[in-house]
Amino acid sequence: MLRNVSRLRKALIQWTIPRHDLCPSPADRVFQSVSIPPVQKAVVRLCHSEKRKDYSLPNSSWSQEMMEHFNKLTEMTKDGTWQRLSSYRNTLEHTPEGLIKQYNLKKDEGTRLFLRNIDEEGKGFEYAMFLNKQEKKLAGVFQFGPYLEGPPGFAHGGSIATVLDTTLGILAMSIAFRVMTANLSINYKSPIPLGSAVMGTSKVDRIEGRKVFVSGVLQSADRKILHAEATGLFIQLPKAPGDDGPSPL
């Protein structure tokens, strides 16, 4: 495992916590306030830049259930303890400009972030995640589209594993800046119907040196059904020379 981490580091694969701005610069963005009926006058600001679109904002494919829980999570951000995490089409769009220039990284137009690799909204993963960095917790709402089918009418187990790895891994990245998954253990409890909204939560259990231990669950939106639970071990990558990124461990 350590050899693999070293190879990844040499290959300059940099994992960073998502940036939370919606657009790259005022010159590249046009904002429009959009009301979201019928959810109690909730308003979000959408970015229509072709270069940088935030996919964690509502779209027409989101179910009423998805919208309701998105708005409940958004309410949690008002006092500053929680923040919504932006989500973009390409991994480098989550990478600070300083690291991109330092390592001469270039975006490959033929690649896409795995969870955002479908052009048509609602066909794959739809999700929004919220972080409480002080308490080392993450909460998100997820919707499984028809292209994620396993058993007829239900989400594939691999798509559930992807959501759990993301729910646990994004939290680990927010704490340790750049990490790789070393182990992910999942217990499947109840199948997830396609099109349904589920709640995902995770928390950091402990930190031992460069090891970050995280656990999480996927539940029905009303929290009455436990769909899956997971534990994960994430390893913080060593800092490269000249890397000024945070290293809290």
Location of structure tokens 């995280």: 214
- Torsion angle in degrees (nearest 10) through CA of 38, 197, 129, 122: -80
- Active-site residue numbers? 165
Looking at every residue in the chain, the average pLDDT score rounds to 79
Tokens read off for 4: 């693999």
- Residue 180 contacts residue 227 (beta carbons within 8 Å): no
Q: Is 60 exceeded by the pLDDT of residue 5?
A: no
Q: Is 60 exceeded by the pLDDT of residue 45?
A: no
**Which of the two residues, 95 and 196, has the higher pLDDT score?**
196
Report the SS3 class of residue 95: coil
pLDDT digits (tens, 9 = 90+) for 181-192: 999 999 999 999
Please state, in angstroms and rounded to a whole number, the distance separating the CA atoms of residues 44 and 32.
9
Enclosing H/E stretch for 101: helix 97-102
Q: Which of 183, 176, 163 is closest to 228 using CA atoms?
A: 163
pLDDT digits (tens, 9 = 90+) for 62-87: 999 999 999 999 999 999 999 999 99
pLDDT digits (tens, 9 = 90+) for 122-143: 999 999 999 999 999 999 999 9
Average of per-residue pLDDT across 104-114: 76
Please state, in angstroms and rounded to a whole number, the distance separating the CA atoms of residues 210 and 194.
37
pLDDT digits (tens, 9 = 90+) for 162-207: 999 999 999 999 888 789 999 999 999 999 999 999 999 999 999 9
- Residue 237 contacts residue 15 (beta carbons within 8 Å): yes
Q: Is 70 exceeded by the pLDDT of residue 46?
A: no
Whether omega for the bond prior to residue 38 falls within 30 degrees of 0, making it cis, is: yes
pLDDT digits (tens, 9 = 90+) for 205-220: 999 999 999 999 999 9
Instruction: Look at residue 51 in the predicted model and tell me its pLDDT.
Output: 61
Average of per-residue pLDDT across 27-47: 36
Instruction: Look at residue 20 in the predicted model and tell me its pLDDT.
Output: 37
Location of structure tokens 């995770």: 202
Name all domains of the chain by residue range, CATH numbers in brackets: 2-236 (3.10.129.10)
Cα 28 vs. chain centroid, distance in angstroms? 24
Q: Is 70 exceeded by the pLDDT of residue 61?
A: yes
Tell me the pTM. Answer: 0.74
- Residue 127 contacts residue 115 (beta carbons within 8 Å): yes
> Residue 111: pLDDT band by 50, 70, 90 thresholds?
confident
Q: Is 90 exceeded by the pLDDT of residue 11?
A: no
Instruction: Look at residue 106 in the predicted model and tell me its pLDDT.
Output: 73
Q: Is 60 exceeded by the pLDDT of residue 18?
A: no
